[in-house]
Amino acid sequence: MSGDLLTQRKVRLEKVKKLRELGFNPYPTKAQRTHTIKEVLLDFEKLSESNQQVTITGRLMIIRDFGKIKFFRVQDATETIQVVIKKDDLLESDPKKNQLGWELLKLLDRGDFIEVTGTVGTTKTGEKSVFAKSVKILTKALRPLPEKWHGIKDEETRVRRRYLDMAIHPEIRERMIRRSKFWQAVRDFLNSKGFIEINTPILEHVPGGADARPFVTYYDALEENFYLRISHELALKRLLGAGFEKVYDIGHRFRNEGFSPEHLPEHIAMEWYWAYADHKDGMALTKEMFVYIVEQVYGTYKFEVKGMTVDFDPKKEWEEVDMVEIIKSEFGVDILHDPEEKLYYVLKEKTDIRLEDGQVNRSRLADNLWKAIRKHIAGPIFLVGVPKYLSPLAKADPEDPEKALRFHLVAAGSELTNAFAELNDPVEQLERFVEQQKLREAGDEEAHMMDIDFVEMLEWGMPPAVGFGMSERVFWILEGVTAREGVPFPPYKYDLDETTRKIYKDILHYIDKKAIKGKKK
């Protein structure tokens, strides 16, 4: 296959050379489009009746040659359409206009970008088409588009060359458009509620706000190690201390951990913080926000995900489920008071979850017992009654001090959100950080780091507030796809395939292999 690609690339380079020799520019600066393909199809009857000339642009996906007539299929970002080219109707070649006559159409290949001007109408078979008067070259592609992706080997190729995957699969591009609409709906909703979007730093001295292992980098100008944020939380809460009352941020966060159908080390997340409100206010706002998102992006409340029916119907009550009680009911253990040995035994004997060394502590045991139950819950439900020891940044419930004023929205077997009444007592917050630091010293790399600067901010005063966070995992679940399928460019291990190595063999020495491989800190 690589030899075939090398041959085709060589043929296409010869076509580029031929075009240049004839005075054509295979890569002009601008196109002159009058209509997108979707606009042509929407206004087809009017354009056809008026015999109005249109100019479309796009990628050449199919070429069929029948002597004195050719059929192209052209695709732009909006739609695809057939182009009919009759030899007697096509204008002559004109290098000054980059216009290809009939005899030069042979220099075009599948994958090229072209500009077509003509009138619209239907063929004898009734297919809506553009009948070309002129064809111009916009971009000469040197590599042929794949016919289709298949097989396990090609799965990795799809990740490495996602632009090709999207070029030949419009449904993936449409998913990325919905992804954009998803975050726009979030932004529109929060803005309508008086929240202010404020971007917070990605590079931090101390990563906080989540149980996760951070990425570390070196800041040359400051001669210090910095971490890529694992959460927006602590920066946004500093803004509450600064006097803001409703703030949010949408942006990347980074967690140096493994991949799964619901996890990517780099992903988009959103967090909002609302001063003078409590967790009950947060639950009401969460329900209202989710209803708005699914209405705006999907136009439905019902989703079929992982064999479950999830219904976000706003008229229904979303059940509240206590974490301690549901684990007690399912496994017969009390995650607040039973010894860790008992929790460990139950997790080992009644689930398929296994913990790594350094993670066998009450927090990880309780969390994983809940995960074993959660995967069967269709929802939406609100998980409440979360133990305080699982919530180092949350306020304790005054009516049940061993639990936090915290909730998760759960649907399709996954936690879609995390939210709680924010701890603003600096003395208690310091004590919680110390407890977390002891877990880190015992080997739990995901426990929270000590953040004296944040404690100092609390000493200046932060109002009571509720905070909320969610990632694009929500979008992946609504779409029914894995994390890697739900982003435009998922991460992958750097490599060059055999064909690329052959093509660029004379310049491979310029690749800084040491920089790519890096050094584990």
Q: Is the dihedral of CA 87, 90, 94, 96 positive or negative?
A: negative
Q: pLDDT of 433-448, one tens digit each?
A: 999 888 888 888 778 8
Based on its alpha-carbon atoms, the radius of gyration of the chain, rounded to whole angstroms, reads 29
Q: Which long-range contacts (CB under 8 A, 24 or more apart) does 87-90 make?
A: 89/131, 89/132, 89/133, 90/132, 90/133, 90/134, 90/135
> Concatenated DSSP letters for 336-368?
TTS-HHHHHHHHHHH-S--PPTT--SHHHHHHH
Indicate whether 18 pLDDT > 90: yes
Closest among 182, 257, 198 to 446, alpha carbons compared: 257
Report, as an integer, the average pLDDT of 294-323: 96
pLDDT per residue as tens digits for the range 395-415: 999 999 999 999 999 999 999
- Rounded distance, CA 452 to CA 448, Å? 12
pLDDT interval class at 497 (50, 70, 90): confident
Q: Out of 354-368, 384-398, 460-474, which region has the weakest mean confidence (pLDDT)?
A: 354-368
- 152 has pLDDT over 80: no
Residue 1: what pLDDT?
A: 41
What is the average pLDDT score of the chain?
Answer: 92
Q: What is the DSSP letter of 451?
A: -
In tens, the pLDDT along 77-98 reads 999 999 999 999 999 999 999 9
CB count within 10 Å of CB 389 equals 19
Residue 518 tokens, joined:
């890096």
Which residues lie below 8 Å from residue 191, measured CB to CB, with a gap of 6+? Answer: 197
Instruction: Indicate the DSSP class of residue 465.
Output: E
Q: What is the DSSP letter of 301?
A: S
Q: Residue 511: count other Cβ atoms within 10 Å of its Cβ.
A: 12
249 near 236, Cβ under 8 Å? yes
Angle between the 362-374 and 340-350 helix axes, to the nearest 10 degrees? Answer: 30
In sequence order, what are the residues at sequence separation of 6 or more whose Cβ sits closer than 8 angstroms to the Cβ of residue 106? Answer: none
Per-residue confidence band for 158, with pLDDT thresholds at 50, 70 and 90: confident
Q: What is the pLDDT of residue 358?
A: 66
Q: How many CA atoms lie within 13 A of 473 on its CB side?
A: 22
Vertex 341 angle, CA 340 and 347, to 5°: 85
Is pLDDT above 80 for 517?
A: no
d(CA 37, CA 44): 10
Taking 60 as the threshold, does the pLDDT of residue 197 lie above it? yes
In the chain, the domains with their CATH numbers are 2-139 (2.40.50.140), 166-202+231-486 (3.30.930.10)
Question: Hey, is 371 helix, strand or coil?
Answer: helix
- What is the reported pLDDT for 440? 85
pTM of the entire predicted model: 0.90
Residue 111 backbone zone (phi > 0: left; psi -120 to 50: alpha; other: beta): left
Give the whole-number percent of the chain exceeding pLDDT 70. Answer: 96
